Amino acid sequence: MGVGLKGLSKPEIELMESESKVPGLWTLEKAVGFIFRWARKNSLWPLQFGTACCAIEMMATAAGRYDIARFGAEVFRPSPRQADLIIAAGTITEKMGYALKRLYEQMPKPSWVIAMGSCTIAGGPYYYDSYTVVKGIDSFVPVDVYVPGCPPRPESLLHGLMAIQKKIEDEPIFRRRRNT
């Protein structure tokens, strides 16, 4: 895939052309931003973080049939310092919540979070009567994309990953996130 105008929407190209004096020539900022976004979205390195059932589906996504490598996200890193995407796969209990928060804070910014499965979104089947499960990880970690299901199919996770890529395309390259 070459670097071209492919990643940009039509109004964006028109805007660029109107801003520069010469038609078709990019401003430096736009060009740098385009390269940054292109590189970021095609090399998301997820953290190897699976807690429960969804982790098995995450493994299935990484394996042959669904092959997350097609989206450039097959490099599951064991260390948060090398990763820029947490796929929070599986139930997060209160005891684990502290670890998740610390893992998120250890990741270099910009970083993204996918809440995979009902448990991480809102507690899922453990919403009622469970005294340990966190009712939604978005209470302490900023979540970018929610992938519902119990567990979600690998296709859903890939769709979530593509949603992250779309989000990267749309946001400024110097992204400031609120501190949680």
- Do strands 145-147 and 112-116 pair parallel, antiparallel, or not at all (unpaired)? parallel
State in angstroms the smallest separation of the CB of 73 from another protein.
Answer: 16
Nearest alpha carbon to residue 126 among 56, 57, 59, 51: 51
Q: 150 in helix, strand or coil? A: coil
Q: Residues in the site for another protein, rule: CB under 8 A?
A: 47-53, 55-57, 59-60, 63-65, 76, 78, 80, 90-91, 93, 95-96, 99, 103, 125-126, 128-133, 150-151, 153
Nearer to another protein, 26 or 160 (CB): 160
Which residues 6+ apart lie within 8 Å of 64 measured at CB?
none
Helix axis angle for 154-170 and 28-41, nearest 10°, is 170
The whole-angstrom separation of Cα 159 and Cα 176 is 25
Nearer to another protein, 53 or 143 (CB): 53
State in angstroms the smallest separation of the CB of 137 from another protein.
Answer: 14
Nearer to another protein, 62 or 161 (CB): 62
State in angstroms the smallest separation of the CB of 129 from another protein.
Answer: 5
State in angstroms the smallest separation of the CB of 143 from another protein.
Answer: 18
Nearer to another protein, 2 or 64 (CB): 64
Which helix (H) or strand (E) segment holds residue 160: the answer is: helix 154-170
